[in-house]
Amino acid sequence: MQYDVIVIGSGPGGYVAAIRCAQLGLKTAVIEKYSTFGGTCLNVGCIPSKALLDTSEHYHNAAHAFGTHGISLSNLKIDVKKMIERKDDVIAQNTAGITYLFKKNKIDSYEGVGSFVNKNTIKITKKDGATEEITGKNVIIATGSKPTALPFLPIDKQRIITSTEALNLTEVPKHLIVIGGGVIGLELGSVYARLGAKVSVIEYAKSIISTMDGGLGKELQRVLKKSLGMEFFLGHKVTGATAKGKKVTVTAEDSKGQAVSFEGDYCIVSVGRVAYTKDLGLENIGITPEERGNKIPVNDHLETAVEGVYAIGDVVKGAMLAHKAEDEGTYVAERIAGQKPHIDYNLIPGVVYTWPEVASVGQTEEQLKEAGKKYKSGSFSFKASGRAKASGDTDGFIKVLADADTDEVLGVHMIGPRAADMIAEAVVAMEYRASAEDIGRICHAHPTFTEALKEAALAATANRAIHA
């Protein structure tokens, strides 16, 4: 065999798996069909969307918050071209970083589409049609996902677009229609709402971010409506969309089954993602993806039904999160090397990078109720946080859920300033099976946003919050 491990795909799961394999002394190769590494996350997902979110946040604060700080501006405007150029530069820096890491760790890379000839032989088809084959003892499939397409809603990539095209608009929409009230739709919707677009979110479920704790969705909807003027049409079933010239018309049925329509100049379709397995040649090794979501079946060790062939990230069961893929990449690398790694899927945090940010780990109240689990709940509002008052970020709260008998923390759910960073404290605590009392006893620096977590933990422990 030429290689100990061949990784197909260089997104967060793939490149982390490759680096960890190399660190463990395994001769490793990566196959990537695009000219840059990083997959969806670095090129058209997590990283570029955060760059745009950051720019739009600066603009919105300058337009609406600077005055309260005594900072006066005139003739404020957004240079969309410059914003996109900065985003592209951020992408370039990150993808170049992976190229450097591959060279540093002596990882061989191949550009082209990788497909199975047999379980140890991978054919690489290049853009010009030329092919070559490489062999490996183990193969890790890390091909990620792509936006879900609806058969009744054709995407023209001009006016009816996906998240990919939304990252490269040359103008601020006058009226942006977002189909889907999940993470991607809300983040991109908030980018353009901050820049002055009217944004209408159409969601089939009765709440936004419906997979997270119910209280978070309600609070986020309230704040986005108040601060950005975003409209929400929940319980609406989209039936179609058409584009004519610079106008997009979206048709739907409301919660009562009545026909309604929406007119805008752009429409983002963000109704989820589906595992990407095209051209992998899975049929050549006897693997059939699941009908729902196109996921590749794996066992508890992320190994497929074919010995030595593993799959990680968006292409397998579980949440489609870059950090989940990274942990799975590390897990599989260490498993191949003979170690005994561990992943607790209950403790993989979820984040929405709107403002305020939303973050969650562990079980929601809805899940605990459904399971009949007895629990305690403690919440603390950022309105009572000294640090939040100082920065003017008083929307949101932190909720701590703990076992009614043992006080072990079962879930932490927060919406507020820097929640994406603060959730890590909750993850650490839960990894060590901390009690709410434990968190409440930890000395938190004052004034900080994280004091709100301590107060919520105290509230969950005999209603002992000091500042509530």
Q: Would you say 44 is a known binding-site residue? A: no
Closest to 136 (Cα-Cα) out of 33, 32, 31, 28: 28
Q: Would you say 230 is a known binding-site residue? A: no
Map tokens 């459904």 to a residue.
Answer: 370
Q: Would you say 360 is a known binding-site residue? A: no
Q: Which amino acid type is present at position 421?
A: D
Tokens representing residue 105 in the block: 């760790």
DSSP string, 35-91: SSSSHHHHHHSHHHHHHHHHHHHHHHHHHHTGGGGT----S----HHHHHHHHHHHH
Q: Would you say 50 is a known binding-site residue? A: yes
**Of 58, 69, 446, 467, catalytic:** 446
Q: Would you say 24 is a known binding-site residue? A: no
Q: Would you say 167 is a known binding-site residue? A: no
Examine the residue annotation and report whether 446 is marked as an active-site residue of this protein: yes
Q: Would you say 114 is a known binding-site residue? A: yes
Q: Would you say 323 is a known binding-site residue? A: yes
Burial code of 166-202, b = ≥16 C-beta within 10 A, e = fewer? Answer: bbebeebbebbbbbbbbbbbbbbbbbbbbbbbbbbbb
Closest to 219 (Cα-Cα) out of 359, 13, 427: 359
Q: Would you say 181 is a known binding-site residue? A: yes
Taking the C-alpha atoms of 232, 236, 239 and 243 in order, what is their torsion angle to the nearest 10 degrees? Answer: -10
Q: Would you say 182 is a known binding-site residue? A: yes
Q: Would you say 319 is a known binding-site residue? A: no
Q: Would you say 8 is a known binding-site residue? A: no
Distance of alpha carbon 427 from alpha carbon 357, whole angstroms: 17
Task: Give the count of alpha carbons within 13 A of 388, CB side only.
Answer: 23
Q: Would you say 235 is a known binding-site residue? A: no
Q: Which residues are annotated as a binding site?
A: 50, 114, 143-145, 180-187, 203, 272, 314, 320-323
Q: Which residues are annotated as a binding site for FAD?
A: 50, 114, 143-145, 314, 320-323
Which residue numbers are catalytic? 446
Q: Which residues are annotated as a binding site for NAD(+)?
A: 180-187, 203, 272
